[in-house]
Each structure stands twice: as C-alpha cells, then as structure tokens.
Amino acid sequence: MHLPIKLTACAVLALTTAATAQEVTVASWGGSYQAAQSEAMFKPTAKELGITVKEATLSGLADIRLQVRSGAVEWDVVDLGATDCAIGAREGLFEKLDYSVIDAKGIDDKMVNDHWIGVIYYSTVPAWNTKTVKAGPQSWADFWNVKDFPGDRSLRNRPQVMLEMALLADGVAPKDLYPLDVDRAFAKIEELKPNIATWWESGAQSVQLAKDGEVDMIAAWDGRLAAAIADKAAIDFTYNEGLLNADCLAVPKGAPNKELAMKAIAKFVSPEQQAMLTQHISYGPVNVRAFETGLIPEEAQSKINTFPANLEKQIVVDAEWWGENGNRMRERWDSMIQR
C-alpha cells in the first residue's frame, strides 16, 4: 500500500524539479525597455533553449541586496546600471559569470567583468537647441567654451559622466581618463558653473529643457534626444566624445537556476539578439559584432551609438571606477553644487 504513494510523490517531485530546471526568471526595468528586451531577447531565448523565461521588474540594487541577504533569491538574471553592477559585485551579491558558456567576443573589456557583463549602451552627448544655437559644440571643449559658444547650459545633477566630460574638456586624452583626476575635474566643472542654468534630474526633464529652449546646450542621453528629434523637436547632437555607459546583466548569489542563467545571458549578449534589440529601442548593442549579422538595416546602423563609426568617436565609461568611488563623488558633487 505504501509503495505506490511514495512512487507517486517521487514522480511529482521529479516533475517539479524538471519543470523548475527548465525555467529562468529575468528581472529588468519594465516599460518600453523591458518590452523591447522581451521581444528581442527573452522570447527568442526561451524558444532556442526550450525553456520558460519568466519576467519580473526591479527598482534597483536594493531589491537584489534584500533578496540575497534574506536568502530568498527569486531572480536568476538581473538588469542593472553598470555602476550598480560594480557595487553589487564588490558587496558579493552576484555569482561569478561562467565565460566558458558566455562568449564575450566583440564586447569592450570595460563591460566584461568577473561578476557582470554589459548588455546595452546609452551615450551622454553634447546636444543643442537648433533655434537658439547656429553651430553646436562639437566637443566637450566647445561645450565649455562659453566665449565662442555663448548660451545657457545644463548638466545632469550627478557626478557620473560629468567628471569625465570635464576632464575631456580640459584636454585629457581619452586613454588617460581613468583613474579620474577628481580635483581637476571638479575644478573644471566649477569653471562652467556660472553658465549652467539648470542641473537636470530626470531624462524627461533634460529633453524638455532642450526642446523648450530653456537652455541652449545640454549634456543628455542619445536615446531620448533621438526620440525627440524623430518627434520634430528643434534639437541636434553629436556623438563626438559621447560617453558610453551601459546597463549590465548579473546573476544574484544563490539564484535558483544558476547554470541556465549563464546560458540565457550568453544568448542575450550574442550578436544576433543584440542586433535584434536595436529594432525595438534606440539603445546601442554592447556587442559590436551585432553590426556584422546583417540584421540591422544599413540606413539604421549609422544612427546607433555603437555603430563603429560612432563608437570610435566615443569613450566607454569605467563602471568599476564608479562602483568604487561613486558615493564619495556624489557627496563631493553635492557640496560643489551647494556652494
């Protein structure tokens, strides 16, 4: 009498295990970004690997910290800002990535880390209102040159990327950027401070400021600017000295389906899926081999920030440096703004 019941229980257990083993949960930022990821990455991956990809949304590193610390990890792959990845890695919140499964070829070294890997690029570029500015700044040095390029400016109210911009404007060569000469960078920002009308807080606000002519020049994100330009806003920008920043993928420590997560990440950063993502949202693929797949139409390629011709004009931000120094910089930044 007892035997069949035990057998049944075992069978059920085996079935459940089999089912969970074939499932991976990915947490991202929701909205149009996650919708694009879902179309270009999650659904194809589920199909190719024959698994289920469950989706969740997150609001930042704090969520992962909570799950890992409480030992109740629900997510297998998380999408975070590159700096958050760097911080999370330092706190030991992530599993080591298995690069025998993940092929990082075609991805910038700065975006390939033991515990995380980049997934998309966005770029902070010099932009201007075409109604109030005839010839826009073609470099950060121009952006800082208030004599030849008069007008109100706006920078983001964060030290990240702004310090890099300042150093480039001050004549530091891109290859010598890191580690950042912080004192020099802050001094350069102080120099421009009187001409900064607004320190912007949100992406939407940055576009509004440029579009309405509230400021004449602004350092803002390419994706948002491109969308506004497509919407006939009087804005233009250049990729010259654009600063590429990334979103990254990582596997929270103790993730239930670690091995499968590696396989999924390998798919997400593959040239094919990277190429497909550009069809759905105007972010750049981290993997430059995406352009070789033939999946991105010729005329669309030049608009993408990581298109080789664009990429060579830009500099990739070192997330690791910011993971290490970000908080200190943030406090110093606030003190500078307040003065």
Interface residue with another protein among 98, 199, 227, 258 (CB under 8 A) is 199
Dist. CA 184–CA 124, nearest whole Å = 20
Q: Which is nearer to another protein, 289 or 330 (CB)?
A: 330
Type of residue at 234: A
Segment interacting with another protein (CB under 8 A) among 184-192, 223-231, 274-282, 326-334:
326-334
Q: Which is nearer to another protein, 43 or 69 (CB)?
A: 69
Q: Which stretch binds another protein (CB under 8 A): 184-192, 198-206, 303-311, 313-321?
A: 198-206
* C-alpha 110: how far from chain center: 12
- Based on CB atoms, which residue is closest to another protein, 129 or 310? 129
For another protein, the closer CB: 123 or 129? 129
User: Of the candidates 41, 58, 61, 229, which one interacts with another protein according to CB under 8 A?
Assistant: 61
d(CA 182, CA 190): 12
Min dist. Cβ of residue 38 to another protein (A): 26
For another protein, the closer of residues 65 and 96 by Cβ is: 65
Beta-carbon contacts of residue 236 (< 8 Å; ≥ 6 apart) = 127, 128, 130, 136, 229
Verify binding: residue 2, another protein, rule CB under 8 A: no
Among 22, 38, 145, 198, binds another protein (CB under 8 A): 198
- Binding string, residues 81-100; x marks residues near another protein by CB under 8 A: ------x---x---------
Is residue 204 a contact residue for another protein (CB under 8 A)? no
| Residues numbered 254-313 forming contacts with another protein, rule: CB under 8 A | none
Q: State both tokens at 157.
A: 């109210």
Do 232 and 73 touch, CB atoms closer than 8 A?
Answer: no
**Dihedral angle, C-alpha 67, 70, 73, 75, nearest 10 °:** -10
Report how far apart, in Å, the C-alpha atoms of 202 and of each of 1, 106, 205 are. 67, 31, 5
334 binds another protein per the rule CB under 8 A? yes
Q: Which lies closer to another protein via its Cβ, residue 63 or residue 76? A: 63
Minimum distance, C-beta of residue 207 to another protein, in the bound complex (Å) = 15
| Minimum CB–partner distance for residue 98 and another protein (Å) | 26
Q: Do 97 and 272 meet the contact criterion of CB atoms below 8 Å apart?
A: no
Q: How far is the CB of 200 from another protein (least distance, A)?
A: 7
The string of DSSP letters for 115-182 reads SEEEEEEEEEEEEEETTT-SS--SSHHHHH-TTTS-S-EEEESSSTTHHHHHHHHTT--GGG-SSP-H
* CA–CA gap between residue 301 and residue 307 (Å, rounded): 6
What is the SS3 assignment for 297?
coil
Segment 102 to 161, residues that bind another protein, using CB under 8 A:
152, 157
Q: How many CA atoms lie within 13 A of 81 on its CB side?
A: 17
Tell me the window of 1-9, 195-203, 227-235, 298-306 that interacts with another protein (CB under 8 A). 195-203
Nearest distance, CB of residue 257 and another protein, angstroms: 25
Asked if 233 interacts with another protein (CB under 8 A), we say: no
- Per DSSP bridges, beta strands 77-81 and 23-28 are parallel
* Residues at the contact surface with another protein, assessed by CB under 8 A: 60-62, 65, 69, 87, 91, 152, 157, 197-201, 212-215, 326-327, 330-332, 334-335, 337-339
